[in-house]
Amino acid sequence: MSTQTVLFDAPGPKARVRHAILTVVGILIALAIAYVVYLKFDEANQLQGYMWSPFFTDSSVWTSYIIPGLKGTFTAAGISIVLAVVFGLLFGMGRLSPIGPVRWFCSVIVEFFRAVPVLLMMVFAYFGFFATSDIVPNQHAPLAAVVTGLTLYNGAVIAELVRSGVHGLPKGQSEAGYSVGLTPGQVLRSIQLPQALTAMLPALVGQLVVVLKDSALGYGITYLELLNWSKTLGSAYANTVPAYIVAGILFIIMNYSLTKFAVYLEGRLKKRRAKS
């Protein structure tokens, strides 16, 4: 007897035909929309050959705009990733604390920052704090605000990953620790947390895609990342649409690379667990 379980019944012949028809219709609608968008861009002379030539003939396009934009994006994402991991580990462990007030406080913080939009946190951090204080130099205030928003949101998500990862472990893991005299804190730090981190590593790497992508929200508070530099590039060379298209392609390449790395890492971990 098969033990396989499914969430829904396998589609029959009529359902498969209906799904195929809907898929074809969906593709045709998407192609029609893409064609209409192409015509609008073409009418505005945004897709002419001379609009794209600076990317191939003028090295300053890359050295003065694209590369500084990539540097700004990687800087914000890199700092935010480190701080978000620290934030997530601390508050994730806090949510698992046997001390009631600590657990409640960490739960409120995590749920609050998971619910607030990232851009809203950036705006509040910039206009309500960094731009009006002397904590950081004025030229670094946009970076500090972007890092604050990304850290708080993604740190809250990582904290939830830590909590769910620990709760997903077999109860025998903690019971074995208690049986040898370990305290709940020692069991969490020595037994549960290392296993949970290994299990959540692919999801954690996948969260890096969110950090990298959301760094573009710094556009709203004048942080000079890839999207903002692309706007400047479009204004300088009068090719706004091609500049944004190139920025979009670069974001897709970066995020796709991180996604493939997460898939590769997950496969390695599965093979390691299978061998052990």
The answer to whether 87 touches 110, Cβ cutoff 8 Å, is no
Residue at 149: amino acid letter: G
Closest listed residue to residue 218, CA positions, set 230, 206, 205? 230
**Residue 220 host element (H or E):** none
The two three-digit tokens of residue 62, written as one number: 């890359």
Per-residue confidence (pLDDT) for residue 114, from 0 to 100: 92
> Is residue 273 predicted with pLDDT exceeding 70?
no
Mean pLDDT of the 96-119 span: 91
Q: How far apart are CA 64 and CA 233, in angstroms?
A: 9
Per-residue confidence (pLDDT) for residue 3, from 0 to 100: 47
CA dihedral for 12, 13, 14, 19, sign (positive or negative) = positive
Closest listed residue to residue 84, CA positions, set 153, 136, 165? 153
Model confidence at 125, pLDDT cuts 50, 70, 90, reads very high
Mean pLDDT of the 149-163 span: 92
> Is residue 5 predicted with pLDDT exceeding 60?
no
The percent of residues in the chain predicted with pLDDT above 90, rounded, is 41
Name residue, tokens 């003065």.
64
pLDDT in tens, 26-79: 999 999 998 898 888 777 777 787 888 889 888 999 999 999 999 999 999 999
pLDDT in tens, 12-22: 788 888 888 99
**Chain mean pLDDT for the chain:** 85
Name residue, tokens 């620790």.
177
Please provide the CATH number assigned to the domain covering 58-275: 1.10.3720.10
pLDDT in tens, 251-267: 999 988 888 887 787 77
Angle at 211 between CA 207 and CA 212, to 5 degrees: 115
pLDDT in tens, 215-233: 999 988 989 999 999 999 9
Contacts of 7 (CB under 8 A, 6+ apart): none
Model confidence at 276, pLDDT cuts 50, 70, 90, reads low
